[in-house]
A and B are shown apart, each in its own frame.
Chain A
Amino acid sequence: NAGVMQNPRHLVRRRGQEARLRCSPMKGHSHVYWYRQLPEEGLKFMVYLQKENIIDESGMPKERFSAEFPKEGPSILRIQQVVRGDSAAYFCASSPPTAQGITEAFFGQGTRLTVV
């Protein structure tokens, strides 16, 4: 059973371009969480999704950021018109439907976004 798969591992974008980060949860997991780790800082919650539903996006910046978790396929974190301040490591975690909270979630290896 493969773990949480994130791709790409590294992504370089020029200012103004779009970044798409993908997360395939573990098999059988229907809850996905996205976190962001800025340089020299700890991870911060961004969004919590279940299949076809955004449950909580209170940690997402109000503009340029969006997330989805379609019925089929990976979860996507999309950043439009990237700026240098978006450079960070973005981590995805997934948990099963019966999870008793985030402690049963598994994190992926992250996508390191660099905006030049």
Chain B
Amino acid sequence: LAKTTQPISMDSYEGQEVNITCSHNNIATNDYITWYQQFPSQGPRFIIQGYKTKVTNEVASLFIPADRKSSTLSLPRVSLSDTAVYYCLVELFNDYKLSFGAGTTVTVRA
């Protein structure tokens, strides 16, 4: 049973806001929600992590409803350089055994 489910791909245009929703119906009490970004031929890069409600940093915002069965990564005003694969992970806070699924390929067009 997959831990997370997210769309395979999303298209957007420069300057738009991109919202990627991830379902994690079986999230456990001690699990955190973490998002990574991966550019072609690069390793993944940590974007944001949260447990509940809303988390914001200089790159993105993460919205987590009270039941924590889903989460939404919000990328404000995307640019061409935001074209990448975005992964949603549900893991223990200190867990290093990360398991990445297929992710969501976000393509930003001019």
Which A residues contact B (CB, under 8 angstroms)? Answer: 4, 33, 35, 37, 40-45, 48, 56, 58-59, 91-93, 100-110, 112
Within the complex, which residue of B41, B98, B103 is in contact with A102, where a contact is CB–CB below 8 Å?
Answer: B98
Which B residues contact A (CB, under 8 angstroms)? Answer: 34, 41-46, 49, 87, 93-103
Within the complex, which residue of A43, A48, A92, A93 is in contact with B100, where a contact is CB–CB below 8 Å?
Answer: A43
| B44 engages A43 (CB within 8 Å) | yes
A84 to B18, CA, bound (A): 38
Q: A42-B87, A42-B101 are known contacts. Are A102 and B43 too (CB-CB below 8 A)?
A: no
What are 19 A-B residue pairs whose CB atoms fall within 8 Å in the complex? A4-B43, A35-B98, A42-B87, A42-B100, A44-B99, A45-B96, A45-B97, A45-B99, A48-B96, A91-B43, A92-B43, A101-B93, A101-B94, A102-B94, A102-B95, A102-B98, A108-B43, A110-B42, A112-B41
Task: Sort A-B residue pairs by CB-CB distance and give the 7 closest, nearest first.
Answer: A107-B43, A42-B100, A101-B94, A43-B100, A102-B96, A45-B97, A91-B43
B91: min CB distance to chain A, Å: 8
Cβ contacts under 8 Å, B100 to chain A: 37, 42-44
| B95 engages A101 (CB within 8 Å) | yes
A40 to B95, CA, bound (A): 24
- Among the interface residues A43, A93, A107, which one has the most CB atoms of the partner chain B within 10 A? A43
| A101 engages B41 (CB within 8 Å) | no
Given contacts A43-B44, A48-B96, could you give 18 more A-B pairs where the C-beta distance is less than 8 Å?
A: A4-B43, A40-B102, A41-B102, A42-B99, A42-B100, A44-B100, A45-B99, A100-B93, A101-B94, A101-B95, A101-B96, A103-B49, A104-B46, A105-B96, A107-B42, A107-B45, A110-B41, A110-B42
